[in-house]
Structure 1
Amino acid sequence: MEGATQQLLQHSNFKHLLSLCDERGVFEHCEFDQPRREHGYCVDDVARAAIVLEREQSADPGITQAIDVLAGFMELAQQPDGRIRNRCDVDGAWQGEASTDDHWGRALWCWGSMVRLDPRSERVREAYDQFAKSVALRSTHMRSMVFAGLGAVEFLQAFPANTHARALLDDALRSIPANLVSAQAWPEERLTYANAAIAELLIAGGDFFGQREPVRRGLSMLTWLLALQTRDGHLSLIPATGWVVGDALPAFDQQPIEVAALADACASAYSVTGDGSWLDAIRLGAEWFDGANDLSVRMYDPSTGAGFDGLTSTGPNLNCGAESTLAYLSVMQQAHRERALK
């Protein structure tokens, strides 16, 4: 991808992301800003990268070439029965069993985004076929279903009558259990990771079906989650180890993926309600990366667009892996949209 890399360097915020890419995919981990090639690639990050690049809606040939490389990785990950393998080493050997875990859901989210956003009919057809191959499967894990449901929402923007995507979205909404207690507007006893995606699915999925109750519930959950993670006017995230009622906050390590999930959910909330307060919440996400956080430290490298891997009790974890970099870029995309809307 050397040619693609050179073309994308003009987009300075993609510089680090492209340094993680080769002709096969996106390297998962870094030591500081250097890819750890020995750790290989995973569908989770390749799918996230494809979504971020598709959201750019750029005609830059470097971006389209990068998307094509990522799409090729996703095609190789998919098995004939629709299950997905997650990990691949630097030599192209796939590791582990295919499944319907989180990476299956993220794969569907990726293909749904390609179907909705890619301007090239050939790429849309290929993504459509890959989505169709996996759409009939289901997962026993709620977050896997949530990610898949968000993919169905994307797909249905282009093909709203597709019965298989509608069935997946319906099942994804049903996979979210009732809230546990009235004092905690949340369906889990313990908050873990990408929490706001659960609320986002209720908001976006309920809106697609014209169902008021899921939308109301999702907005209530997102309001509660945002209040829980806001302190002194800035985001103060729950730690990577999770959180239950009674745990002290602030706590560490804080993960950029939580900011990205919040920003995406708030963007969906604004799209559905038109309430400008959700745009203010997106701004809090961008400001978290720029130092409006519990330690008042910047969480990205402005010269390369690299996101730091976490906010620890002593400062940023300066490793710049794919997940954190993509979280930063995703939040910036939502923040740019927020500024345009205001």
Structure 2
Amino acid sequence: MQVVDGMTLDHLDRMTDSTGLIQHAIYSIPRRESGYTTDDNARALRLCTRLWCQHPEKRMLNRVTGYLSFLEHARCPVRGFHNFLSYQRSWLDAAGTGDCQGQAVLALAEVLGSSLPDGYRLLARELIEAVLPALADLRSLRAQAYVIQAWGRLREAEVQDMERFETIACSAARRLVDCYHRSERPDWPWFESRMTYANAVLPQAMFIAAERWPQEGFLDVAQASFAFLDRTTTGEKPEPGSGAFGAKHPAGRSGQSLLTRVPIPAPCFEA
């Protein structure tokens, strides 16, 4: 059993084979027929990259190698990344969703901005540069937020020659602000008419953009939307369940998945 910073990685290893991270489990047993997804492997890549930077040992580097190799294999010949891979190693989609593209580039930015060996960072840069045209076309709110976060990670790490990426990130931030103002009401300062999943990534992206472009009004949107998210999803009030809620969708009390709830503290650190 390997324990890193209080985390036991046995289940991660159990769910990972020579191809990548298997999508689902039956209890604690990998459900092979569920295959693999790029966004799951991207999340695993981000985690293991960060853990390797804290504890640079061979076993963690092997995990990083496998998940990064999956993303390289997921590169779509046309643009962007595939998302769904069958257990028989056949791609099941022509191209992945917008959120898949965002998750993938965020993981690659984590690699490129890290202290991993040169070969890992060079591959991450090549993949990012190859998918920039696809990133510019993203219109999913959360996908654009992931793009902004990815660019922010590279800026934080002082990665050079990322001007095209910066332009794409700034455009994405402006589109998020436009969506915010179209949906905003006195009692609903939010980016869309409903809250669904991964809500915290939206104000977090705005905080990142505001630090680089303070003149754009991004900070006002970041603060207002985060304050609304905080009072809506914490305390005794009903929190978003597995479905959406909004003006015509009252919130339920069923809990969100862990992956949805985990990002909520992140905007606190950005703020």
Query: Scaled by the length of structure 1, what TM-score is found?
Result: 0.71
Q: 1:236 to 1:23 in 2, by over 3 A?
A: farther
Q: 1:100 to 1:250 in 2, by over 3 A?
A: closer
Q: 1:213 to 1:34 in 2, by over 3 A?
A: same
Q: 1:100 to 1:29 in 2, by over 3 A?
A: closer
Measured against aligned partners, the alpha-carbon deviations of 1:100-155 in whole angstroms (never above 9, x if no partner) come to: 52101111111111111243121111101100001122213222222222212222
Aligned partners of 2:114, 2:267: CA distance in 1, in Å?
Answer: 19
Q: CA deviation at 1:256?
A: 1.5
Which residue of the other structure, out of 29, 43, 46, is the alignment partner of 1:48? 43
Q: Corresponding residue for 1:273?
A: none
Letter in structure 2 aligned against 1:264: A
8 Å CA contact retained: 1:47, 1:70: yes
Matched, 1:229 2:230: no
8 Å CA contact retained: 2:180, 2:221: no
8 Å CA contact retained: 1:108, 1:135: no
Letter in structure 2 aligned against 1:84: F
How big is the alpha-carbon RMSD for the aligned residues of Structure 1 and Structure 2?
2.0
Q: 1:40 to 1:207 in 2, by over 3 A?
A: same
8 Å CA contact retained: 2:84, 2:96: no
Q: Corresponding residue for 1:139?
A: 138
Point out where structure 2 has 5 or more consecutive residues left out of the alignment: none
Aligned partners of 1:55, 1:237: CA distance in 2, in Å?
Answer: 30
Q: Corresponding residue for 2:64?
A: 67
Aligned partners of 1:159, 1:85: CA distance in 2, in Å?
Answer: 26
Query: Scaled by the length of structure 2, what TM-score is found?
Result: 0.88
Q: Secondary structure at 1:107's aligned position in 2?
A: helix
Aligned partners of 1:199, 1:165: CA distance in 2, in Å?
Answer: 20
Aligned partners of 1:249, 1:189: CA distance in 2, in Å?
Answer: 13
Q: Corresponding residue for 2:164?
A: 164
Which residue of the other structure, out of 87, 90, 101, is the alignment partner of 1:104? 101
Identity within the alignment, %: 18
Q: 1:183 to 1:20 in 2, by over 3 A?
A: same
Q: 1:261 to 1:89 in 2, by over 3 A?
A: same
8 Å CA contact retained: 2:194, 2:249: no
8 Å CA contact retained: 2:37, 2:85: yes
Identify the range of structure 1 (63-72 vs 89-98) with the bigger mean alpha-carbon deviation: 89-98
Q: CA deviation at 1:197?
A: 0.4
Aligned partners of 1:83, 1:191: CA distance in 2, in Å?
Answer: 27
Q: CA deviation at 1:219?
A: 2.2
Q: Corresponding residue for 1:150?
A: 149
8 Å CA contact retained: 2:83, 2:97: no
Matched, 1:88 2:85: yes
Q: CA deviation at 1:76?
A: 0.7
Q: 1:18 to 1:267 in 2, by over 3 A?
A: farther
8 Å CA contact retained: 2:245, 2:251: no
Identify the range of structure 1 (240-249 vs 33-42) with the bigger mean alpha-carbon deviation: 240-249
Q: Secondary structure at 2:208's aligned position in 1?
A: helix
Q: How does 1:296-315 map to 2 (within 5 A)?
A: none
Letter in structure 2 aligned against 1:119: L
Which residue of the other structure, out of 118, 121, 127, is the alignment partner of 2:124? 127
Q: CA deviation at 1:88?
A: 0.8
Matched, 1:78 2:80: no
Q: 1:212 to 1:201 in 2, by over 3 A?
A: same
Point out where structure 1 has 5 or more consecutive residues left out of the alignment: 1-5, 270-342
8 Å CA contact retained: 1:156, 1:165: no
Q: CA deviation at 1:81?
A: 3.7
Poorly superposed stretches of 4+, deviation over 4 Å: 246-250
Q: Secondary structure at 1:102's aligned position in 2?
A: helix
Q: CA deviation at 1:253?
A: 4.1
Aligned partners of 1:52, 1:118: CA distance in 2, in Å?
Answer: 14
Measured against aligned partners, the alpha-carbon deviations of 1:313-332 in whole angstroms (never above 9, x if no partner) come to: xxxxxxxxxxxxxxxxxxxx
Q: 1:257 to 1:152 in 2, by over 3 A?
A: same
Which residue of the other structure, out of 179, 185, 189, is the alignment partner of 2:189? 185
Q: 1:225 to 1:55 in 2, by over 3 A?
A: same
Measured against aligned partners, the alpha-carbon deviations of 1:12-69 in whole angstroms (never above 9, x if no partner) come to: 5222112111111111111111111110110110001111111222202111110110
Measured against aligned partners, the alpha-carbon deviations of 1:248-288 in whole angstroms (never above 9, x if no partner) come to: 5552142212221212222222xxxxxxxxxxxxxxxxxxx
Q: CA deviation at 1:161?
A: 5.1
Q: How does 1:184-203 map to 2 (within 5 A)?
A: 184-203=188-207
Identify the range of structure 1 (176-185 vs 240-249) with the bigger mean alpha-carbon deviation: 240-249
Q: 1:28 to 1:211 in 2, by over 3 A?
A: farther
8 Å CA contact retained: 1:43, 1:107: yes
Identify the range of structure 1 (128-137 vs 208-217) with the bigger mean alpha-carbon deviation: 208-217
